[in-house]
């Protein structure tokens, strides 16, 4: 079939627009389905931030530090606890702490110094406990109380013992 000359250009324009629409929708689908590009190798080699601006990730543990942490974890597991966060272990600190959780969700802080276990945060266990800060010979723990509030308690290591500088909340509240 042969159309008169004046009717061909609208059909050609319509065909061109349909082709552009088809290619555009294909590109949009490909953009949504294909994975994002990975970072360049130079950016991947940078240390990861720890969540604070300008803070750098800590270097990997040495063999001796890993062995000391494994021994500390063995102490926890021997008493029926699993460590909540291995990242709480500060290998260069004079006093180290690991928070453990039992099968019954009871929590307890285990203190270590000089490669030895030196004590617990309290004789009784807690329902919710976390490490807030570990610096030098002091460690700060946060206890979540039954009323929903949080109490921070600072512990100091001196003379081979860890003692709280403020009273630990009573076990019935934590």
**What's the Cα-to-Cα distance from 19 to each of 16, 26, 107, rounded to whole Å?**
5, 11, 65
Output the DSSP codes for 46-93. Answer: SPPP-SSTT--PPPPPPHHHHHHHHHHHHHHHHTTEEES-GGG--TTS
Average pLDDT over all residues of the chain = 85
Please check the confidence at residue 46 and state whether its pLDDT lies above 60.
Answer: no
Distance CA 102, CA 127 (A): 10
Rg (CA), the chain: 30
Please check the confidence at residue 167 and state whether its pLDDT lies above 80.
Answer: yes
Residue 106: which of 120, 119, 89 has the closest Cα? 120
Question: Residue 43: pLDDT band by 50, 70, 90 thresholds?
Answer: very low
pLDDT, tens digit, for every residue of 101-137?
Answer: 999 999 999 999 988 999 999 999 999 999 999 888 9
Say if residues 111 and 101 touch (Cβ distance below 8 Å).
no
The reported pLDDT for the residue numbered 117 is 94
Question: Which residues, other chains included, contact 163 with Cβ-Cβ below 8 Å and sequence gap of 6+?
Answer: 155, 156
Question: Residue 155: pLDDT band by 50, 70, 90 thresholds?
Answer: very high
Tokens 């063995």 found at: 74
Question: Residue 30: pLDDT band by 50, 70, 90 thresholds?
Answer: confident
Say if residues 99 and 85 touch (Cβ distance below 8 Å).
yes
Question: Residue 42: pLDDT band by 50, 70, 90 thresholds?
Answer: very low
Does the reported pTM lie above 0.85? Answer: no
Say if residues 109 and 120 touch (Cβ distance below 8 Å).
yes
The reported pLDDT for the residue numbered 45 is 43
The reported pLDDT for the residue numbered 54 is 58
């Amino acid at each position: 079939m042969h159309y008169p000359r004046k009717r061909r250009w609208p059909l050609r324009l319509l065909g061109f627009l349909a082709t552009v629409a088809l290619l555009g929708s294909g590109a949009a689908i490909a953009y949504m389905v294909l994975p994002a590009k990975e970072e360049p190798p130079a950016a991947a080699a940078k240390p990861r931030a720890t969540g604070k601006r300008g803070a750098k990730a800590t270097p990997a543990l040495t063999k001796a530090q890993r062995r000391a942490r494994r021994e500390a974890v063995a102490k926890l597991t021997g008493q029926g606890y699993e460590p909540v966060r291995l990242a709480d272990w500060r290998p260069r600190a004079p006093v180290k702490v690991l928070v453990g959780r039992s099968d019954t969700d009871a929590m307890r802080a285990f203190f270590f110094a000089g490669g030895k276990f030196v004590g617990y945060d309290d004789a009784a266990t807690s329902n919710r406990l976390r490490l807030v800060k570990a610096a030098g010979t002091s460690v700060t723990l946060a206890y979540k109380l039954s009323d929903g509030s949080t109490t921070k308690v600072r512990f100091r290591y001196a003379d081979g013992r860890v003692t709280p500088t403020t009273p630990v909340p009573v076990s019935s509240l934590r």
